Structure 1
Amino acid sequence: MRLFAFCIILASLAAILLSVPAHAVQPDEVLEDPALEARARELSKDLRCLVCRNESIDESNADLARDLRLLVRERLVEGDSNEEVIDFVVDRYGEYVLLRPTTSGANWMLWAAGPIMLLIAGGMGFVYLRRREQAPRSAEAGLSEDERKRLQEILDE
Structure 2
Amino acid sequence: MKKYPRTPPNETVTSDCLDEENALPDGNQAYRKWNNLNTNEVVRDAVLSNQIPRAQGYFTVQQKSMKDLNKLLQAGLNLTYECLLKKDLQEARELLKNMGFDVKRELHHICCYTADRDLRDFLVENLQDYLSVEEKERVKFVHFVEKLYSSAQIMECPLQNG
TM-score (norm 1): 0.27
Q: Which has the higher contact order (CA 8 A, sep 6+)?
A: 1
TM-score (norm 2): 0.27
Rg larger in structure: 1
